[in-house]
Amino acid sequence: TTADFYGLKNYGANYGVLYTAWGVSGFVGPLLAGWAVDTTGTYSLAFTISAGLLAVAIVLGFMTKPLKLAKAEQTAAANA
């Protein structure tokens, strides 16, 4: 997916950023959930925060276009 959306030119750098973000979220997520449980006594806040972040990810996923599609649209606009 990373190569499809951003091309192979910077694939290594983009893949590294992707897995760094994944690792940071794997560390911060449980800490945030633990804080929410300690503060409220239930997992409701932790699940609400997770659902909100998932909704943002879904919206961003639909907003991004593969590199080939974006180039095709640019070419079509330039020819029009």
Q: Is the pTM of the predicted complex or chain greater than 0.85?
A: no
- Residue range 28-46, pLDDT digits in tens: 989 988 998 999 999 898 8
C-alpha distances (whole Å) from 26 to each of 30, 31, 44 are: 7, 9, 19
Compute the average pLDDT of residues 15-21: 90
CA distance linking residue 45 with residue 2, whole number of Å: 31
Least Cα distance to 21 among 49, 66, 57 occurs for 57
Domain boundary assignment for the chain: 2-78
